[in-house]
Chains A and B, each alone.
Chain A
Amino acid sequence: MPGKTDKILEQVEQSRVWRSIFRSGRGTSTLHRALAIQQNVFLHLFSTKVRKRMLSVSSTWYLGTLTLGTFMILIITGVLLMLYYHPSVPQAYADMKDLQFVVSSGLFLRNLHRWSAQAMVFLVFAHMFKVFYRGAYRAPREFNWVIGVVLLLITLLLSYTGYLLPWDQLAYWAITVGSNLSKAVPLVGSKIHFLMLGGNQVNANALLRFYVLHCLILPLAALLFIAVHFWRIRKDGGLYVHQSEPKRAGAVDESTLVKEAK
């Protein structure tokens, strides 16, 4: 049986259709493996090679990956929540109640979205602390650190804009207080406040603005910067290895490279 399955798989992989999609074909040589990564639009952002040591928990605690995981959960649950939510003053809160009481697994969706959002903020901070205290922000990774800071801001803004959408008292007053902070900016403070809320008070316009920011603008910006972030990891020489900072120019610690399979 296994022989037969292998045969069928091999036939599929040899077929024209398959080859038109995955050009590099099968093989265990370094070239084949490198091509498999490079020729995939999603995977080519990543390094083609990783030091084996870097795959252990202790080296990164997987904080970046976990952050990406929560982000994925947020996108999936968020899209599903969008199916039930109207960003309008009379309907928004009633939709929350419908999610709670009549939508199948609606409360689960909402809670998953909410807890993932909390977890993402926590993980982003943890990720940044880890990077900071290990010194991984230093040259040549300064730019990626800056991108990381931008992603932190986007995460916080996503959290803030999402807070208004349930349209309950907590949301209303939190955003009222939060947006009033912007008034403290010298000279343009009240303009910023007006621009943010689409008015002088938290109302229908603010709800719509926050909805568009939360569901469209900020997630797209986050995706864009995440792509750059990952791509820069590769360009900056892969994941940062502790004490792997070149002490002398050109010196590479061979023992840490992934052992090549035959």
Chain B
Amino acid sequence: MKFLSSIWRALFGDTMRAFGIVSGLLLIALAIAPAKDHFSEWHGYQNGYLSLIHDRSDAISLRRRFEPGIQQIWLPELGVVDRCATCHEGLKEASLADVKMQPFRKHPVIPHPLDRYGCVICHRGQGPATTVSEAHFSERAGEDPILPARFIESGCGQCHQNELTGTPQLNSGRKMLAQYGCVSCHLVKTPDGTTMKATDDPPSLEHLADKTTREWVFSWIKDPQAYAVSATMPNYKLSDADASDISAFLMSSSTPHAGDSDATMIALAKNADPSAGASLYGESFCATCHAVQNGAGNLVGGNVGPELTRVGNKVKPAWLQAWIENPHVYNSATMMPHYRFTPQQVATLTSYLMSKTDSDYGSNVHLDPATPAQIAHGKKLVAELGCAACHTINGVNKPDNFAPDLSRIGSKPLSQVVFLPGMQHALPAYIAGKIKDPQAFGPGLKMPQYTLTDTQRDGLTTALLSLGDRSQTMPEKLRVAGIHQTTYEPAGPAGKLMTDLDCFSCHRINGHGSDMAPDLTLEGSSVQRAWLDAFLKNPNTLRPALTRRMPRFNLSDADRKTLTDYIMVVYQSATIDPDKAPPAVNPPAMVEHGRQLFYSRYACQSCHIIDTKTDKGYIGPTLTQVGSRLTPAWIYAWLKNPQELRPGTMEPNQNISDEDARAMTAFLMTLKGSGKQEGKQ
């Protein structure tokens, strides 16, 4: 105490000395602020950069381009003030490609100049900040923390509503939003003003009792993935009692529908040969759309239609026969085409499919007859769980705004997010966590449990993160609109036929239809009539590398003629002039010149096969019979500019001269293939 008071007296005992000491302290205090400025973090990084480039061979030019001080990208239109380049000095230095140390790494090549878009547009984070913690991790005042690199494609999705080749994760996520029925419950308005529509084609349950049994419905809604591993229907984690009540209600609400059952052929089916069924299943290319689990547990086949591994457990034989005969009777909107099978074929396929059973599946399900109370409770559950958001159900209306709007989920403020204990406090973690286990966020939550792989979940998260405030407020000129389906419908008897055959389930014409098979908008200009007719009669594959095949529809001659006539007349290109095209037959010298051009100058055999013995290219279609398939006018126009005829095609535009194109057309027109080869394929 004495010691302290003596110090006090020594320092402040005298007025003048006290004044001097206080002034000194004040000066020191005031000097701290500029000192902190001088020794700031980014100064350290800039010094680090200078010592990094010091010993490099191109140090002089690097140093010339180095600008000291705070670097800023200012884009008022986008609301961007990015000072990231203050520390990330080497972003644009191509010669620093080998540097792995951050913050000096070179930015990977992207299609956009950094100066015109800034950094936070894609990476998030706080652009104006000049310290690492503030720029990367700050979140308290509503700032965005930096986005983990694996979700970076969400940045692209803010402007690009269309499908980009460089963003597979985003594309698959967007597809899943529609395919897994997310958008049946959630509203998703994309920035170009359209509302996302579900593409999973959930079946109507209006005539459910015609198709299946209550026991199967019970087992299905208890665990859809137990019936089919590829099922997109989520698991609602229902109790036995609830599942029983729901199945009771669905059965009682189902109404019989004329033509849903075809009992006349049951007898035929009993006599059918199951081995014939397997080959008919293969010949009809059912596997293009339907998958079946093989012995090793892998799915073999497409994912357009439902998986058929245990279809015998599910459907009633009479219904299946009626369905195979003409699916449009039961469901007029189905994507499944109307194959024109003979009654014998229908019976064969039915018995083949009915043999696809799993004796264990649903074997211990025994449901007592439903009471009215159970049915009423089932109806209440169906309304509460929102089943009608996807399925059409008699007596239950489709709910509106059933689930939260996700149009701006990518900018949900963290202050509004309830995180689970132990969860990283970041939006991607929250979205992924919610998709992974919705029930963990509260027992009252209605969102069901989806069965998704980590990759799928990351895709969905990426697609959802791209739906943010920034994407909604992006300047119009930066927006790349998505490709939306037109309402095109072919007219006349041919149009009716095309609807019946569900051509649009695979092909696209005039912007309507799927992209699974070639776009047929210009088919009439492209192919020769005789080839088309033969192809419709017995479709041979053009691309052996693909598993998806055009099925045979068993068309009558009259139907085939209607279709061929219509395609040849209507689906014509306005720009291809058959009169100006090179003739189909040419002098041998020109053909030989064309062959040489094909093989040496343009090296087309890298992707196409002309001689099945020597050529190995399989990226493009096989051209062994191209001379009897395509018109000379089309080949010529295609060689000149493939992208004009089919935007986005992989075939490169090699700026082939008129003369070369003529010669190669002459050569290609001589490739008629042999009848024998045709038979093989």
Contact status B33-A101, CB under 8 Å? no
How many whole Å from B165's CB to the nearest CB in chain A?
A: 37
- List, in ascending order, chain B residues with CB within 8 A of A98's CB: 128
Contact status A169-B70, CB under 8 Å? no
Complex: how many Å from CA A15 to CA B131?
A: 58
* A7 close to B (CB within 8 Å): no
Name which residue of chain B comes closest to A97, CB basis: B128
Complex: how many Å from CA A189 to CA B179?
A: 55
How many whole Å from B84's CB to the nearest CB in chain A?
A: 12
Which of these, B34, B36, B128, contacts A101 with CB under 8 Å? Answer: B128
Complex: how many Å from CA A108 to CA B37?
A: 10
Within B67-106, which residues are at the interface with A (CB < 8 Å)?
Answer: 70, 81, 83
- List, in ascending order, chain B residues with CB within 8 A of A97's CB: 81, 126, 128-129
- List, in ascending order, chain B residues with CB within 8 A of A94's CB: 81, 128
Complex: how many Å from CA A137 to CA B141?
A: 45
- List, in ascending order, chain B residues with CB within 8 A of A58's CB: none
Known: A169-B141, A169-B142. A102 touches B34 (CB 8 A): no
Known: A101-B83, A101-B134. A108 touches B142 (CB 8 A): no
Complex: how many Å from CA A175 to CA B125?
A: 28
Q: How many residues of B contact A (CB 8 A)?
A: 17
How many whole Å from A143's CB to the nearest CB in chain B?
A: 35
Which of these, A105, A168, A169, A170, contacts B37 with CB under 8 Å? Answer: A105
- List, in ascending order, chain A residues with CB within 8 A of B32's CB: 108
Complex: how many Å from CA A105 to CA B34?
A: 6
Within A37-67, which residues are at the interface with B (CB < 8 Å)?
Answer: none
Complex: how many Å from CA A105 to CA B36?
A: 8
Complex: how many Å from CA A169 to CA B141?
A: 7
- List, in ascending order, chain B residues with CB within 8 A of A102's CB: 70, 83, 128, 130
Complex: how many Å from CA A102 to CA B128?
A: 9
Complex: how many Å from CA A129 to CA B134?
A: 42
How many whole Å from B628's CB to the nearest CB in chain A?
A: 67
- List, in ascending order, chain B residues with CB within 8 A of A105's CB: 33-34, 36-37
* A243 close to B (CB within 8 Å): no
- List, in ascending order, chain A residues with CB within 8 A of B142's CB: 168-169
* A104 close to B (CB within 8 Å): yes
- List, in ascending order, chain B residues with CB within 8 A of A101's CB: 83, 128-131, 134
- List, in ascending order, chain B residues with CB within 8 A of A168's CB: 141-142
Name which residue of chain B comes closest to A101, CB basis: B130
Contact status B134-A104, CB under 8 Å? no
Complex: how many Å from CA A177 to CA B129?
A: 30
Complex: how many Å from CA A206 to CA B181?
A: 46
Name which residue of chain A comes closest to B142, CB basis: A169
Complex: how many Å from CA A183 to CA B611?
A: 88
Mark B25-66 against chain A: 1 for CB-CB distance below 8 A, else 0: 000000011101100000000000000000000000000000
Interface hub of A102, A104, A168 (most chain B Cβ within 10 A): A102
Q: How many residues of A contact B (CB 8 A)?
A: 13
Within A96-123, which residues are at the interface with B (CB < 8 Å)?
Answer: 97-98, 100-102, 104-105, 107-108
Mark A63-105 against chain B: 1 for CB-CB distance below 8 A, else 0: 0000000000000000000000000000000100110111011
- List, in ascending order, chain A residues with CB within 8 A of B130's CB: 101-102
How many whole Å from A260's CB to the nearest CB in chain B?
A: 20
- List, in ascending order, chain B residues with CB within 8 A of A169's CB: 141-142, 415
Interface hub of B81, B126, B415 (most chain A Cβ within 10 A): B81
- List, in ascending order, chain B residues with CB within 8 A of A104's CB: 34, 37
- List, in ascending order, chain A residues with CB within 8 A of B33's CB: 105, 107-108
Mark A155-169 against chain B: 1 for CB-CB distance below 8 A, else 0: 000000000000011
- List, in ascending order, chain A residues with CB within 8 A of B128's CB: 94, 97-98, 101-102
Complex: how many Å from CA A117 to CA B47?
A: 38
Within A144-181, which residues are at the interface with B (CB < 8 Å)?
Answer: 168-170
Name which residue of chain B comes closest to A103, CB basis: B37
How many whole Å from A119's CB to the nearest CB in chain B?
A: 15
How many whole Å from B81's CB to the nearest CB in chain A?
A: 7
Complex: how many Å from CA A227 to CA B126?
A: 46
- List, in ascending order, chain B residues with CB within 8 A of A108's CB: 32-33, 36
Complex: how many Å from CA A126 to CA B660?
A: 96
How many whole Å from B88's CB to the nearest CB in chain A?
A: 15
Name which residue of chain B comes closest to A102, CB basis: B70
- List, in ascending order, chain B residues with CB within 8 A of A100's CB: 129, 134
How many whole Å from A103's CB to the nearest CB in chain B?
A: 9
Complex: how many Å from CA A101 to CA B70?
A: 10
Complex: how many Å from CA A81 to CA B32?
A: 19
Complex: how many Å from CA A100 to CA B134?
A: 10
Complex: how many Å from CA A83 to CA B134?
A: 24
How many whole Å from A166's CB to the nearest CB in chain B?
A: 10
Within B138-152, which residues are at the interface with A (CB < 8 Å)?
Answer: 141-142
Complex: how many Å from CA A104 to CA B129?
A: 14
- List, in ascending order, chain A residues with CB within 8 A of B83's CB: 101-102
Complex: how many Å from CA A134 to CA B482?
A: 78
Complex: how many Å from CA A102 to CA B134?
A: 13
Complex: how many Å from CA A108 to CA B129?
A: 16
How many whole Å from A88's CB to the nearest CB in chain B?
A: 13
Mark B133-171 against chain A: 1 for CB-CB distance below 8 A, else 0: 010000001100000000000000000000000000000
Interface hub of A97, A101, A105 (most chain B Cβ within 10 A): A101
Complex: how many Å from CA A101 to CA B129?
A: 6
- List, in ascending order, chain A residues with CB within 8 A of B126's CB: 97
Within B226-257, which residues are at the interface with A (CB < 8 Å)?
Answer: none
How many whole Å from A111's CB to the nearest CB in chain B?
A: 9
Name which residue of chain B comes closest to A166, CB basis: B141
- List, in ascending order, chain A residues with CB within 8 A of B70's CB: 102
How many whole Å from A235's CB to the nearest CB in chain B?
A: 30
How many whole Å from B74's CB to the nearest CB in chain A?
A: 11
How many whole Å from A176's CB to the nearest CB in chain B?
A: 16
Interface hub of B32, B37, B129, B415 (most chain A Cβ within 10 A): B37
Complex: how many Å from CA A101 to CA B82?
A: 12
How many whole Å from A165's CB to the nearest CB in chain B?
A: 15
How many whole Å from A206's CB to the nearest CB in chain B?
A: 20
Complex: how many Å from CA A148 to CA B593?
A: 105
22 contacts between A and B (CB under 8 A): A94-B128, A97-B81, A97-B129, A100-B129, A100-B134, A101-B128, A101-B129, A101-B130, A101-B131, A102-B70, A102-B83, A102-B130, A104-B34, A104-B37, A105-B34, A105-B36, A105-B37, A107-B33, A108-B33, A168-B142, A169-B415, A170-B141
List of 10 A-B pairs having minimum Cβ-Cβ separation, nearest first = A108-B33, A105-B33, A97-B128, A101-B130, A104-B37, A102-B70, A101-B129, A101-B128, A105-B34, A168-B141
Residues on A lying within 8 angstroms of B by beta carbon are 94, 97-98, 100-102, 104-105, 107-108, 168-170
Known pairs A94-B81, A101-B83, A105-B37; list 19 more (Cβ under 8 Å): A97-B126, A97-B128, A97-B129, A98-B128, A101-B128, A101-B131, A101-B134, A102-B70, A102-B83, A102-B130, A104-B34, A105-B36, A107-B33, A108-B32, A108-B33, A168-B141, A168-B142, A169-B142, A169-B415
